[in-house]
């Protein structure tokens, strides 16, 4: 306990626990879970293969905290988007910022603020290629999904300080097969999905998969009558595979076009003039100041620019906030015609060649391009306090990302198979174009000056990265293994302001560049107590590269304006884990437990000030926690599962190095203290086919969508919420190749918020993204 009575963890606790576990397991094997003596008719839990160490291993054998799901588990859990992953992954938060289409992962307290222009702390990989960009994904024809927790810098790159999410699509194989799925449901949801696998020769196979989906919006924009949370997406994927005796090559090409209207932001609070929080004066009350009660009858408000406010009868911002309470929880009043137009192309080519029985070389080429356009009402109110683009949708956010990468690996075994090793080289180039048009008080005029016109943040950054890495696992004994890994990364980041950019045109902001290089490392000791029980301890360190935030600038020592720069973030952790795969009272069971403590130095955080975002570094943070997931089959027809995460995240030195400001950060944002997942799955053989019924429960405690809630940005707490999903399926109906599914999501129609945009220090308001209502649906699948 600390001096506040809170439970804390430390490396000493971890080492003591590891020592005790090894000693007890060795001296008293009966104290640990084990299989019964009669194993002739024992049931088993399906093995899941993971690639957390860049080689295929059983989930229960790898000494890393991983949540992993195979194709069947993805289907059974109904994982269709990023937001669905958190229901099955302890400690993971999928954070929505200024729209439901702009998502990022928060894992073990490591995340990324909106408009920070720092790299994600949890990296996404598709078929071993890092894939970024502003776009929510559509999951179809997936082989596996893995969530790796904690710093993954040695094998997955210098920015993976919180973890990595690995997506693997179905690869072509030697069997002619495929499927066709049709789905429908609430809000006129219509979906067609399918794949066909064709062996062209004995060694060359082709797989073509696609998904098209449309759904009407479940959120009503009361200002203009449109529906938001609308889906309109088309996706296609072509996979080619050659599998010779020693040479194997797999090419995957993916293209997508996402349209529709995302969920709109909903304003939740506005600060009063002169308001304080914990004795700290709030920086902005712009919303209330510009739109006081009676504004619609004033000469300074222009009804022609915002007729929706007049027709709705709102007389000011405070009047609107009061009357909004009587509206449906999910309804919004947005003055922007938000509509997505996102195109993505992702290509990967993986070549491997067996030099010998013990050594393989592998090369992975990746290319990813995302062009994302979206107007957004970023204040979430009917007033045009801060407007992205215009009400016709003519202007909006434009994010363009282009990534190219190449990774070369040599892996294998040596020293009489006691050593597994991998050595590699990595190079990438990423170009990011950001174009943000903004208006302040676009429905606001004076006798002397008309409504202000658009101004733009328009800049381009280029990030070139080079790295070498190596990792090896050596069997010290039959039961004890030691793993060591190292990566060194060299980074060069450049930024330039483009014609029309506010800082470039008005202030003459000049290009800037920065170079960074640091190591990442990892050490793991794992001990297999017996065939069912394993313990491990890991110590890892990594970093997140610094960079530039192009929407803010300041003069250097020579008076020349340059983009706001921020330093690298450094982190290290220690993790103690226990894994069990065996039997409890004759029932097959798996259990994974991880305890960790992670320190973050110079944590990258963003503050929204002066109609811009400023990225800087907070001195130090510490995150400690427990993660547990388990499943058991008490009978041959019932499977039960549970996952739990406790995360204690805090700033241990809350001083922020934000250019031009002295700020104290806290509490820690984007990190619920507890998350709980429970499920049951029943499987019965009937005369009509295999019948399954699954129920999933998820609960998340309170969380903040700002790390400055104690000072200048209050009212940014998301309430705790609970979700319950059910899914019933009848597989291979009457011996045919047809299966049917019916489901309900958010069965109790829970009203909750799942993210937000804290603009309290910019325009004096905060807004949130609300979660989906109850939906029902069905699927019919034909396999061949």
Answer yes or no: is 441 within a domain.
yes
Name the strand (E) or helix (H) holding 123. Answer: strand 122-126
The confidence score (pLDDT) of residue 390 equals: 59
Q: What is the residue-wise DSSP string for 158-198? A: TT-SSEEEEEEEPPP-SS-EEEEEEEEEGGGEEEEEEEEEE
Residue owning tokens 């449109």? 226
CATH of the domain at 445: 2.40.170.20
The confidence score (pLDDT) of residue 133 equals: 66
Residue among 445, 610, 422 nearest 522 (CA)? 422
Answer yes or no: is 2 within a domain.
no
The confidence score (pLDDT) of residue 101 equals: 56
For the chain, the maximum distance between any two Cα atoms, rounded to a whole number of angstroms, is: 91
125, 157 Cβ separation under 8 angstroms: no
The confidence score (pLDDT) of residue 300 equals: 77
The confidence score (pLDDT) of residue 165 equals: 92
Q: From CA 49, how far away is CA 124, in angstroms rounded?
A: 18
Each residue's pLDDT tens digit, 138-186: 789 999 999 999 999 999 987 889 999 999 999 999 999 999 999 999 9
- CB burial of 490-515 (b: ≥16 within 10 Å; e: otherwise) equals ebbbbbbbbeebbbbeebebbebebe
629, 647 Cβ separation under 8 angstroms: no
Q: From CA 107, how far away is CA 63, in angstroms rounded?
A: 18
443, 383 Cβ separation under 8 angstroms: yes
Answer yes or no: is 111 within a domain.
yes
Q: From CA 778, how far away is CA 782, in angstroms rounded?
A: 14
Answer yes or no: is 285 within a domain.
yes
- Give, rounded to a whole angstrom, the gap between the first and last alpha carbons of the chain: 59
The confidence score (pLDDT) of residue 112 equals: 85
Q: From CA 276, how far away is CA 281, in angstroms rounded?
A: 4
Token pair recorded at residue 56: 């295929």
Answer yes or no: is 1 within a domain.
no
Gyration radius from the chain CA atoms: 27
- Residue 277 burial (C-beta neighbours within 10 Å; 0-12, 13-18, 19+): middle
The confidence score (pLDDT) of residue 450 equals: 44
Cis peptide before 38 (omega within 30 of 0): no
Q: From CA 458, how far away is CA 756, in angstroms rounded?
A: 24
Q: How far is CA 481 from CA 15, 306, 320, 484, in A?
A: 17, 68, 63, 10
User: What's the structural domain count of the chain?
Assistant: 1
705, 756 Cβ separation under 8 angstroms: yes
Answer yes or no: is 703 within a domain.
yes
Q: From CA 741, how far away is CA 732, in angstroms rounded?
A: 11
Q: From CA 388, how far away is CA 379, in angstroms rounded?
A: 9
- CB burial of 709-726 (b: ≥16 within 10 Å; e: otherwise) equals bbbbbbbbbbeebebbbe
175, 124 Cβ separation under 8 angstroms: no
Q: From CA 757, how far away is CA 265, in angstroms rounded?
A: 8
The confidence score (pLDDT) of residue 90 equals: 78
Q: How far is CA 111 from CA 93, 108, 125, 764, in A?
A: 9, 9, 16, 24
Measured at the CA of 612, the angle between CA 606 and CA 613, to 5 degrees, comes to 10
The two beta strands, 122-126 and 163-169, are parallel
Answer yes or no: is 5 within a domain.
no
How many other CB atoms are found less than 10 A from the CB of residue 169?
Answer: 21
Q: Which residue range forms the structural domain that includes residue 37? A: 11-783
Each residue's pLDDT tens digit, 388-432: 865 555 667 888 999 999 999 999 999 999 999 999 999 999 999
Task: Report if pTM > 0.95.
Answer: no
Answer yes or no: is 407 within a domain.
yes
Low-confidence ranges of the chain (pLDDT < 50): 1-36, 39-40, 447-451
């Amino acid at each position: 306990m600390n001096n506040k009575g809170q439970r804390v963890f430390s490396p000493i606790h971890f080492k003591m626990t590891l020592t005790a576990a090894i000693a007890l397991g060795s001296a008293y094997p009966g104290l640990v879970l084990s299989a019964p003596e009669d194993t002739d008719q024992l049931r088993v839990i399906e093995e899941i293969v993971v690639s957390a160490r860049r080689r295929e291993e059983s989930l229960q054998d790898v000494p890393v905290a991983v949540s992993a799901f195979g194709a069947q588990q993805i289907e059974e859990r109904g994982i269709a988007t990023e937001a669905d992953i958190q229901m099955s992954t302890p400690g993971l938060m999928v954070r929505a910022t200024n729209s439901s289409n702009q998502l990022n992962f928060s894992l073990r307290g490591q995340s990324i603020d909106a408009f920070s222009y720092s790299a994600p702390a949890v990296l996404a990989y598709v078929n071993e290629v890092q894939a970024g960009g502003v776009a929510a994904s559509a999951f179809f024809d997936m082989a596996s999904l893995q969530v790796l927790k904690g710093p993954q810098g040695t094998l997955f790159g210098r920015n993976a300080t919180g973890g990595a999410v690995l997506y693997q699509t179905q690869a072509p194989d030697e069997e002619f097969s495929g499927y066709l799925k049709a789905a429908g449901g609430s809000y006129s949801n219509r979906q067609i999905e399918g794949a066909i696998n064709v062996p062209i020769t004995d060694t060359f196979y082709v797989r073509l998969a696609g998904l098209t989906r449309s759904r009407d919006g479940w959120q009503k924009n009361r200002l203009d009558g449109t529906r938001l949370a609308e889906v309109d997406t088309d996706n296609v994927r072509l996979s080619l595979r050659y599998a010779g005796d020693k040479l194997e090559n797999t090419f995957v090409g993916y293209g997508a076009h996402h349209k529709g209207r995302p969920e709109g932001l909903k304003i939740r609070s506005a600060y009063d003039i002169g308001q304080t929080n914990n004795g700290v004066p709030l920086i902005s009350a712009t919303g209330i100041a510009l739109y006081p009660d009676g504004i619609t009858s004033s000469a300074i408000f222009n009804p022609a620019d915002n007729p929706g406010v007049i027709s709705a009868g709102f007389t000011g911002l405070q009047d609107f906030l009061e009357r909004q309470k009587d509206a449906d929880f999910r309804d919004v009043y947005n003055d922007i015609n938000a509509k997505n137009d996102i195109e993505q192309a992702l290509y990967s080519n993986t070549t491997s060649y067996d030099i010998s029985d013990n050594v393989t070389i592998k090369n992975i080429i990746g290319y990813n391009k995302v062009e994302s356009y979206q107007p957004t009402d970023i204040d979430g109110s009917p007033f045009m306090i801060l407007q992205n683009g215009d009400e016709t949708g003519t202007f909006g956010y434009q994010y363009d990302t282009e990534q190219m990468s190449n990774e070369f690996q040599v892996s294998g075994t040596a020293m009489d198979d006691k050593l597994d090793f991998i050595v590699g080289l990595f190079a990438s180039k990423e170009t990011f174009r950001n174009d943000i048009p903004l208006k302040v008080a676009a429905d606001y005029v004076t006798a002397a000056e008309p409504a202000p016109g658009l101004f733009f943040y328009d800049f381009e950054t280029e990030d070139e990265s080079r790295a070498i890495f190596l990792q090896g696992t050596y069997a010290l004994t039959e039961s004890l293994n030691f793993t060591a890994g190292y990566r060194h990364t060299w980074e060069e980041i450049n930024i330039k302001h483009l014609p029309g950019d506010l800082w470039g045109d008005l202030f003459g902001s000049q290009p800037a560049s920065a170079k960074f290089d640091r190591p990442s490392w990892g050490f793991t000791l794992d001990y297999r107590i017996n065939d069912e029980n394993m313990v491990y301890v890991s110590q890892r360190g990594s970093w997140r590269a610094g960079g530039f935030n192009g929407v803010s600038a300041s003069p250097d020592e020579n008076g020349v304006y340059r983009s706001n720069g921020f330093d690298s973030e450094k982190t290290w952790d220690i993790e103690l884990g226990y894994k069990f795969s065996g039997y409890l009272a004759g029932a097959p069971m798996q259990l994974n437990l991880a305890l960790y403590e992670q320190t973050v130095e110079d944590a990258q955080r963003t503050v929204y000030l002066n109609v811009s975002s400023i990225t800087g570094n907070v001195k130090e943070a510490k995150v400690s926690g427990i993660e547990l997931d388990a499943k058991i089959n008490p009978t041959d027809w019932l499977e039960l599962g549970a996952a739990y995460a406790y995360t204690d995240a805090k700033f241990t030195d809350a001083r922020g190095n934000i250019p031009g400001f002295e700020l104290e950060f806290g509490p820690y944002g984007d990190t619920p203290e507890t998350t709980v997942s429970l499920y049951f799955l029943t499987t019965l053989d009937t005369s009509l086919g295999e019948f399954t019924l699954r129920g999933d429960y998820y609960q998340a405690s309170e969380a903040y969508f700002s790390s400055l809630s104690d000072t200048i940005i209050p009212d940014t707490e998301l309430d705790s919420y609970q979700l319950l999903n059910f899914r019933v399926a009848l597989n291979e109906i009457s011996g045919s190749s047809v299966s049917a599914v019916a489901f309900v999501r958010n069965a109790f129609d829970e009203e909750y918020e799942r993210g937000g945009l804290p603009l309290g220090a910019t325009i004096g308001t905060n807004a949130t993204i609300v979660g989906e209502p109850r939906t029902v649906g069905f699927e019919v699948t034909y396999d061949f």
